[in-house]
Amino acid sequence: MLGRRGSSSKPHEPSTGAAVTAENGQGQGANVSQFITQLDESVTKRLHRMNQRLRQLEQQMETLEADVAKASGDSEILEGRS
């Protein structure tokens, strides 16, 4: 089971190095600690990217809302003149 970790079908995910720690004779605790550290780094990066994207979408939404409000106001002014 330890040797299969590096042959993941998802090439963009970093390998946890499970096979290396087993070959070096280190204990299971070091292997779990390394996995948790790499998982934490990966999740932190992903959350950062998602947060950036969410901020961009919020800014776009505010811009669109302002444009809609302006267009609605302009159309009400034009309808009032008729």
Cα–Cα distance for residue pair 40/2, rounded to 1 Å? 20
Cα–Cα distance for residue pair 20/42, rounded to 1 Å? 20
Q: What percentage of the chain exceeds 90 in pLDDT?
A: 49
Query: Is the full-model pTM beyond 0.85?
Result: no
| Domain-wise residue ranges, the chain | 37-81
Whether the per-residue pLDDT at 6 is higher than 50: the answer is no
